[in-house]
Structure 1
């Protein structure tokens, strides 16, 4: 037999929970439960106290508005209490609200002022003779905190009222809030730089106003809306609330333009639904709308209950925050390879939508929040923003949970997941081979500055990949005229019916019947056509078409096949850029091609050897190493070569490489802790081979001239992360380079050898790319930024900041006429 709960015990427990939640929210600015759960507990307490009035006590959460003022701010006693509002959660409660007012005032026609209920922090602004003199939080409704200095930093709050006619004392009440866009931008920067991430815009507003240092508040993107008045002395205000708000706006106080005057319960509910439909697109968070009797005299007649006015009501929307449980944390690979951790959740309703997944942004955010599988968490969904986990309810953490670790391998392709030093984002290094990155990789591969395949647009790539026709960049070279025409027929059709009408022109009756049956199977009933029907149709396979050339244009397909065939004959720099390696742009690809000259060599080099190329540092070198270390990427390159891609400008490595083909330089490039250039040279003098270093113990290393701490650091480094194998492989590659690199440069140096040139502005006789190629052919290094190392700048029309900087540094500037004269002289 189930035991009936003791009402007194349950009331005590609810009060304790609500008091704790209020303290953490109002005083600590660290909420532990979402609003919806707080509201549910409060309503349960109200119902119990209504059923057992003898158990009501003055210190119950139902008898006050908020939490006591914090002790570190001066207290402000409100001349007129800042009471909270009663809540409605369904239409019936709104109808009852209107009925009660009508019965009490004896009126049939009731006019209301309706406005959005902002999710921020309620404040009071005191103006004396039009000047802002004091600002306070609501606190417990009777006593708040003096936050005048902080409120003065909010630009939306006027320090002096506009116009004239204001009362001697005017207390304006309103909401300080943080706009959504500003909140997201603030958090994005916080995540990038390891700062404190705000849980939600409301928490951001509350925390900002309660900073002891107003300079911190000034850095926060806060805004303000006025929604009413409190104390008024030495003057009068209009007798309707809507007119009061209009007057406040004229005096320079911001008032929401969503405020509206409506009539009766129908008007209130229509407003609720209208604002609800716009809720996700509003620039600020709201958790409901507020209804106020517009007649101020009627407000006085209605009066108050213990904690709220009888003439006003907050009609709440479904909560944007809820608590649920993390069932798993998985990695989602984006189109660019970014690895984003996603929490798989026990289903929960948030803002009217069932949420089962929420982003955790990155590994640093998981560490900051300490989210673990099994945790009870607070999930937030606001507008079109992807649901996110914003906090952990540590009190509910089950025993035995362990901190989460980023997996080592991509869940899609198995390639290594890598993280650049100092970066927040982890990435899958299987750029060419990872299905998650396939569309992005193909789009980059065919772009103009890469393989230059004109005619293969984003829509075609989407359908080709989704249909499984193209599973990698090499599959592009298997496309034929028939497949491309089928592709055009499918992608240009808006509906399956439209596709069938177009296809009928090119199929015999039997083949058409087969196609019709395939379409029916894929698309099912009318009105239930899947968004992916085009890709599914191609995946299912189409019958052989007998093309009616009068009914379909094929020239574009012939041009695309010609462009693909032409792209097979390319240069090393274009090919390297087309691979889409992280951090490898056109200039880096050009440098790699110039210095190493051969794809077969580049794809086998350990990453430290890439640092031999000027302007390639550790970050880019590691990205190159990670890319070529993945078997899938190597297989993709092999497939491209097997499909007939030919690199026509292969050549031996540059003789300039010889300046760094020594073991001491390699050791420095490996970035071994404490191993400076001088110490590396001393070590190699005593131990000239890689095997010597690998076999040396602490005594031998110290004997070779290394300090004890450096010797210990080297030994520790060799024990970690396969560093010993890396050193061995790099040493072998060093010897290979030494054997194939010419002793000296062949041919004559160009007239611009050793000079660095920058092009800026627009040229008339040629493009900047064409001009750059001509200058490079004469030995120049063409870069995109001006520095003290720049030899001269070529400035065309509308040259901007680069020209300005060149003049500031005293660098020589050529116009287009001088460039053309110089180039003509080289041809003579």
Structure 2
């Protein structure tokens, strides 16, 4: 199109851009509340990402507009040399504990002496870490730990990384202090421990310890990666508010954008409270977070004031603590599992026992330090629980029940699978097998290589991989590309059709491209995201292999540890032999995944709305195959927008900026015209 035919792009003055920035901040904050607080997201992930990218772009262009209440500040990156001491506006008192019905009845008797008509609000006691938040003129200005109740530590940068903590109140007040609980959901805890174990690091004992350790990280970016959450439950300085009850406090906090635990109940008698405590003790394992009891509070604020405080705790509240759910069992043996990174993990085989709703017969012992600290021996009677109600954990041994026949466990000097020397590197809790040809590592490495985000070889599950290894048809993942039909049909439960399908899937995997291949290689610390970043930066395996340390470290999200790991991988003879076999098998090792004409080279294209013949991933892959970039937000630099049914804000933005808009049919015809033939869609 000639220049004089192009539509002139509208220009925006700074006041309009600043207004747009404020709108983005509000929409993202509301989206966070809908997603985390109500579990009712109204934006798709792509729409949310588009808003965030637009906000980041505006803040990059106008750094003077970046404020502490911006959602962009949740990614972390602030390095704290120390945590300054902070004196709380009001003392954060602890609660007296009740351990049985008699303790609760005694609490009720004391309350009724002052407030005969009192009713109780009962809330779940989240097992996390107290975090006090201070807002001034509606903006979060400080986060602090409880400390001794009078003085805590400032952790503001870390608090800002938690998505469920609002950075700005919905209805600003001159001053508001809020108390709540920072916690780690069970899923985040399990994932974090798995990642740490694979990296040879010590694991956390439970979600509470993990949350506490995460909130006190000096690098807030690490805190952001830990996926913490927050429930608010108390207003400490309710300036400008008239809150007559605890239930009004909870409603007020919700109105201001905080997440309040929805499981609270109101009761008029202590007998009903006791019944609810017993009910929750049975249901405690069904929640996605750890609870260690319930908190019972007098609902009426006037009655709270009348009851008052002791020196250490309020007289109007008490914490009912669940009895610890630990069971006794016996360590029958300890075996070693070797992961794909060579880490040796000792695992206890236990006499099967029911704990937290399921039968447990195995529990990881993590490393030799853990075994020694808890003095766990083969044959020991031990106490078992589920850390985070998820992961079986041996709490401690019961030495008083020993017979003298128990055996002290030692880590092997040689790998039980390949007999190579085992080492323990300085600063690591883990022992590692030194051989990259270890069959146990190879099995785990092959399972990783064929997984969905790696080479995505359908039909090649762990059981088939074990069969191939036992039949000596493969030694490592590169041998998959030498398999023949006659090899496969001889395997148990592998018919002709299954063999044909598997060979087809293996052949198709050759074209996955550089990004997925880099992830599949299992280079230590290189995940799927890093694989994409390296692929975009270097475009070929050969170019990456020649990269220097400084060049790698200069790439965003590729830190020193990952850079060193990448260099070590390419320096190993075994890695070179592996890559040579892939090259011989014609596995694609470049980022150019398609022979399509690069008609979109250098162009940014946005897809929005519901499409009839493409799914979102399919059309974005097609755009990239033709050389374009599938962008998530519309800007002046967008080449065009592909709009389907129910296209919303992105379509409006494109029209506002004068960006060309194509229908799905027009997009397909454009490809057909340029390619000279119909383009297959994935309908």
Name the TM-score, length of structure 2 as normaliser.
Answer: 0.49
Higher helix share: 1
Name the TM-score, length of structure 1 as normaliser.
Answer: 0.42
Higher relative contact order (CA 8 A, sep 6+): 2
